[in-house]
Chain A
Amino acid sequence: MTSNQYDAIIIGGGHNGLVAAAYLARAGKKVVVLERRPIVGGAAVTEEIFPGYKFTEFSYVVSLLRPEIIRDLELPKHGLKILPLPSTFTPMEYGDYLAAWDDHDLTRRELYRHSPKDAEAYDEYARVMARAAKAIKPIINLIPPDPSSMSIRDLMGLLKVGQYAASLKEKELYMIAKLATQSSADLLEEWFETDALKGTKAASGIIGTFLGPRSPGTAYVLLHHYMGEIDGAFRAWGFAKNGSGGVSGSIYNAAKALGVETRVNSSVKQVKVKNGRAVGVVLENGDEIDSKVVMSAADPKRTFLQFVEGKYFPDDFVTAIQNFRTRGSSGKVNIALSKLPNFTALPYKGNGADSVLHRGAVSISPSIDYIERAYDDAKYGQISKRPYLDMIFPSMIDPGMAPPGQHVMSCFVQYAPYDLEGGWNDQKRDELGEAVIATIEEYAPNIRECIVGMQVISPKDIESIAGITGGNIFHGELLLHQIFFLRPVPQWADFRTPLKGYYFGASGAHPGGGVMGAPGMLAAKEILKDGVI
């Protein structure tokens, strides 16, 4: 018999919810995770939509997963293996390609083929970005201080950030200021001349935002993606064995071993409040569960506008959450393949089992203009006619992902606006799928004959399947006004909420989205600090 009295309830069994639960259980607390879906993992799941073909359904690559979480929760013991993704190929519009490798000399050689100047600038750019990331990282590691609060804790935190900023060299501060305000196109055009290089780099500045490479602020997102590179890991981007579900699965196993109870098919309707404190939850099916604290690991809109009645929050808080930008702009197409699509830029021989191209990522980002044009469509509510695509072939990295000799392909697509003109329906979803296939076809003409099955995921589907309001992949855009002490809203970036006993620790919290685990871990630590449980 499971008792219905817990130290902590975690709403949402995404990877952050599982991380938070594991940390709380590790501290000896009695924890239950409530997940509305029949499986845990949230946006980090692997599902067999077509039998035998495993789709890493939403999230597909890992770089930001925090090493201390891997160590603290002993994730490798629980199945985590992050396999290398050694290259990125960008096919060009005129038939050549640009490749980037995990090996410095190889990358330089390849870039040199296109532009000797870029080959060199690439090194320096990487160093400058890594230095800026290094400079910013300690700020990320501090609990976000709230500059308007007078509490000692916040002032100390702010002091630390200030002291740290003062220790930076002028050049670094200048660089950070620039990164915070520029568009990724501006930044990249200062450095490079090769279109495919600029396009591919710019792409990482728009992922998960509803912005184009020429929108100010996107340069920061570029930097955000460098964070993974400064932990001393050369192959920062990797593919988890068994896909992103492999990451969640290992966290789930670790949490379970620590005594965490997980209930799937348990959708939370509301947080119970008594004497101004969160004291449990009511499920959609009417069941009630009691606890000393409740943490939401769902998206911010659900967390604050749906689970809790507005009367428990100050008005400006509610308004701020309403204004929190969660515009979904990306979709996903997962494809089961009878064989590998053959790219004209670098055709394979035989069945492609030894194709270098397919072992890494393939990026459809021939130029900044290409992406900006894709954004132009989205700005006015249309699916990009020629979207930016980031593709991997999971079965080439982890052979267990598809039946022998067969393959799976993961295509991240941008832009597919959540607020589509006329709204999303089956026909529009098909249009999104067609835009993706037609785009791939331009570079790999045999794509259609390879397809065994296809799953098209619109931002609306991200919302309905993964349960992310607005369908934004990061639960809220990674924009400068939505990070650090501003995430999700000013004054409440420390995982606490205006409702006592109610905490928030998912991608919409500091330090943000991605399969990183940091919001869950940090929130759990704050809960423990408060000493209520």
Chain B
Amino acid sequence: MFNLKTTPFHERTSALCQPQNWRKWAGYFVVGSYEHVLDREYWAIRNAAALIDVTPLIKYIIQGKDAAALLHRVTTRDIHKMKVGQVAYTGWCDEDGKMIDDGTVSRLEDRTFRLTAAEPNLRWLTMNAVGMDASITEVTDDMAALSFQGPNTRKVLNLVCEKSVDDLKYFRLMTNKIKGVDVTISRTGYTGDLGYEIWMNNKDALKIWDALMEVGADYGITPVGILAMDMARVEAGLFMLDVDYTSTTHAWIESQKSSPFELGLDWTVALDKPGYFVGRRALEREKKNGSEWKMVGLAVDWVGMEDIFKRIDLPPQIPGSAIRASLPVMVGNVQVGYASTSTWSPLLKTYIALAHLQRPYYEIGTDVRMEITVEHHRQHAPAKVVKLPFYEPEWKKK
């Protein structure tokens, strides 16, 4: 009776969820995994077409004469430069230039934007919109969303959609119709593969799901839960709020906060954009002085890890899903940072991690060691700082 919400796809997803593996996400239940092991779901993302229910993503429609000005003020991107049909990934900061949240801004019309977020931000947006002609409406519970990810997704969409998606470029969106139903399709995702996100009214959700599943059957369409997506997003070098960084609104102490530079989001911070935006001064200062921390990729050296296991006569053990636990990263006997998410990459056959390292250890090529647990004992496996993303197929942006 008193419970969290289920998404408009629940009728379908619940029938398919074999292990009864449900996860809480922003006040909803979503499928953690549809099968008992994640392999098939993971490989659907990398090799076929993964259908992921991402309805819980928090969504706002921002509308009005000053809608662009509001987003320009709140986010770090140059929103005025965005064309209609363009999507921009961005973080947003507090006055100290520390990250509150991150998401995408889509310019649906000249004066209409959609903002997605991991956490509720209505209050923050409203406070920043004082005196502006911009209405902010949360549509999370009215708008269903599917993330459709993998190399075959374009083919499937071309078969099922009224208009071809061939010309839909990376981080652009279009309106389209599936089975006569209006949808918006953006070429975005959280997997680092070719992929789309399909936005629709709740009432159309099942119709769209069924249409995709029917046409996609010949292309390996597979419903995929958020656990497999979690592995893919690490490979893609994408981080997650509350896992890889702490929002300033949650932080108890200063050191828990991160700036966009510290998260490797330099490319999203448009310091050259005109006018004020929240956090600007602090970010300018940090840009000049350099960052104390940086989020980087760590690739664990397989042979080195194997050696540690060999000492006790065991073959290396690898986790079957992404691990959201903080693991110390060492240089010599000194801790220089921590990994916030680590996972086995089935594709790269490498144990990889998103790690936060202190200056100067975040330079690419630095040799560090990351904690692993070997038969109840903490050990440190050799690892190298590598450039993110770990994996980027040529078709992702093509």
User: Which A residues lie at the B interface, using CB under 8 A?
Assistant: 99, 101, 105-106, 108-110, 112, 116-117, 119-121, 123-124, 127, 131, 134, 356
Q: Are B138 and A106 touching (Cβ within 8 A)?
A: no
CA–CA, A112 and B5, complex, Å? 12
In this complex, the member of A99, A105, A127 whose beta carbon has the largest number of chain B beta carbons within 10 angstroms is A105
A-B contacts besides A116-B122, A120-B121, 4 pairs, CB < 8 Å: A99-B2, A106-B4, A109-B4, A117-B126
Q: Are A101 and B2 touching (Cβ within 8 A)?
A: yes
Chain A interface main SS type:
helix
CA–CA, A105 and B242, complex, Å? 14
Distance in angstroms from B252 CB to nearest chain A CB is 7
Question: Which A residue's beta carbon lies closest to that of B254?
Answer: A169
Q: Are B252 and A120 touching (Cβ within 8 A)?
A: no
Q: Are A356 and B2 touching (Cβ within 8 A)?
A: yes
- B234-268 vs A, Cβ < 8 Å mask (1 yes, 0 no): 00000000000000011010000000000000000
Residue of B2, B126, B250 near A106 (CB, 8 A) is: B2
Q: Are A120 and B122 touching (Cβ within 8 A)?
A: yes
- B2-21 vs A, Cβ < 8 Å mask (1 yes, 0 no): 11110000000000000000
Which residues of chain B come closer than 8 Å to A108, judged between CB atoms?
27, 120
Q: With A120-B122, A356-B2 given, is the CB distance from A127 to B250 under 8 Å?
A: yes
Chain B interface main SS type:
loop
Q: Are A121 and B2 touching (Cβ within 8 A)?
A: no
Q: Are A105 and B138 touching (Cβ within 8 A)?
A: no
Question: Which A residue's beta carbon lies closest to that of B121?
Answer: A120
How many A-B pairs with Cβ below 8 Å? 38
Residue of A112, A123, A131, A356 near B1 (CB, 8 A) is: A356
Which residues of chain B come closer than 8 Å to A127, judged between CB atoms?
249-250
CA–CA, A309 and B252, complex, Å? 50
Distance in angstroms from A173 CB to nearest chain B CB is 15
Q: How many residues on B have C-beta within 8 angstroms of the other chain's C-beta atoms?
A: 17
Question: Which A residue's beta carbon lies closest to that of B120?
Answer: A120
Residue of A101, A106, A121, A131 near B123 (CB, 8 A) is: A121
Q: With A99-B2, A106-B2 given, is the CB distance from A112 to B123 under 8 Å?
A: no
Q: With A105-B27, A112-B27, A131-B252 given, is the CB distance from A124 to B2 under 8 Å?
A: no
Which residues of chain A come closer than 8 Å to B2, judged between CB atoms?
99, 101, 106, 110, 356
Question: Which A residue's beta carbon lies closest to that of B141?
Answer: A112
Distance in angstroms from A349 CB to nearest chain B CB is 11
In this complex, the member of A123, A134, A356 whose beta carbon has the largest number of chain B beta carbons within 10 angstroms is A123
Q: With A127-B249, A131-B252, A134-B252 given, is the CB distance from A109 to B27 under 8 Å?
A: yes
Residue of B24, B250, B252 near A105 (CB, 8 A) is: B24
Distance in angstroms from B23 CB to nearest chain A CB is 11
Which residues of chain A come closer than 8 Å to B3, judged between CB atoms?
106
B 1-54 contacts with A by CB, 8 A:
1-5, 24, 26-27
Q: Are B120 and A119 touching (Cβ within 8 A)?
A: yes
> Which 6 pairs show the lowest CB-CB distances between chains A and B?
A120-B120, A120-B123, A109-B27, A105-B27, A116-B138, A120-B122
In this complex, the member of A99, A109, A127, A131 whose beta carbon has the largest number of chain B beta carbons within 10 angstroms is A109
Question: Which B residue's beta carbon lies closest to that of A130?
Answer: B252
Distance in angstroms from B248 CB to nearest chain A CB is 10
Question: Which A residue's beta carbon lies closest to that of B26?
Answer: A105
CA–CA, A131 and B254, complex, Å? 12
Which residues of chain A come closer than 8 Å to B252, judged between CB atoms?
131, 134
Q: Are A105 and B4 touching (Cβ within 8 A)?
A: yes
Which residues of chain B come closer than 8 Å to A109, judged between CB atoms?
4-5, 27
- B122-136 vs A, Cβ < 8 Å mask (1 yes, 0 no): 110010000000000
CA–CA, A493 and B139, complex, Å? 55
CA–CA, A271 and B329, complex, Å? 64
CA–CA, A415 and B78, complex, Å? 56
